[in-house]
Amino acid sequence: MQPVQTRLRPISALLFGSRWLQLPLYIGLIVAQAVYVYLFWVELSHLVIETPHLTEEKIMLLVLGLIDVVMISNLLIMVIVGGYETFVSRLGLEGHPDEPDWLSHVNANVLKVKLATAIIGISSIHLLKTFINAPNLEEKTMMWQVTIHMAFVLSAIGIAVIDKLMGHAIIDEEHHGKTTANN
């Protein structure tokens, strides 16, 4: 059964239709994704070609760089697919064998928590690269990177706590509405 289409008033239609202005932004992120694919292949070819001349430390740093590119690419996919689905239009992937599990329950809050977690992962890779390369870096640089990483961690915890509190508030509100209706 098809849902009934309601006709919107002109101002409502304009406001609701303005969500499509985000489409060029998501297309731009797809272009950025292509740039990361290119960067990955450049770095991978550098690793393969230079392997006989590299130390284990340099190989590890290059591999961590590849992992970093993949994690940033994953972040881009979450923003592109999740953001489009949440803020622009449904993708209509229900029942598709490749539909990501997380997409079925994505909303703005879930997306924020997932993005914060991904940023922590990316920051962790950068921090690991820093520690491997520590003899070549200033102590001040390493201290700032740890401080920034901890700020990401604390921000993610804050976002998750707020999301959980908001979820409880919504459940309490729904429960209170039901008990009021039953009285």
What average pLDDT does range 143-158 have in this prediction?
93
3 in a structural domain: no
| pLDDT more than 70, % of the chain | 89
With a cut of 80, say whether residue 181 has pLDDT above it: no
155 in a structural domain: yes
Question: pTM of the predicted model, to two decimals?
Answer: 0.72
Q: Please tell me which residue, 131 or 41, carries the higher pLDDT value.
A: 41
6 in a structural domain: no
Question: Of the candidates 73, 71, 72, 76, which has an alpha carbon nearest to the alpha carbon of residue 27?
Answer: 76
102 in a structural domain: yes
12 in a structural domain: no
With a cut of 70, say whether residue 3 has pLDDT above it: no
Provide the number of structural domains found in the chain: 1
Rank 27-31, 91-95, 128-132 by mean pLDDT and report only the highest: 27-31
DSSP code per residue over 114-139: HHHHHHHHHHHHHHHHHHHTGGGS-H
Of 15-24, 50-59, 124-133, 167-176, the least confident = 167-176
With a cut of 80, say whether residue 108 has pLDDT above it: no
Question: Which residue has 């393969």 as its token pair?
Answer: 48
57 in a structural domain: yes
Torsion angle of alpha carbons 57, 59, 63, 68, nearest 10°? Answer: 50
| Domain around 172 | 20-182
106 in a structural domain: yes
Q: Could you count the other beta carbons within 10 Å of the beta carbon of residue 66?
A: 16
10 in a structural domain: no
Task: Please enumerate in sequence order all residues whose Cβ is within 8 A of that of 121, keeping only pairs 6 or more positions apart, or say none.
Answer: 71
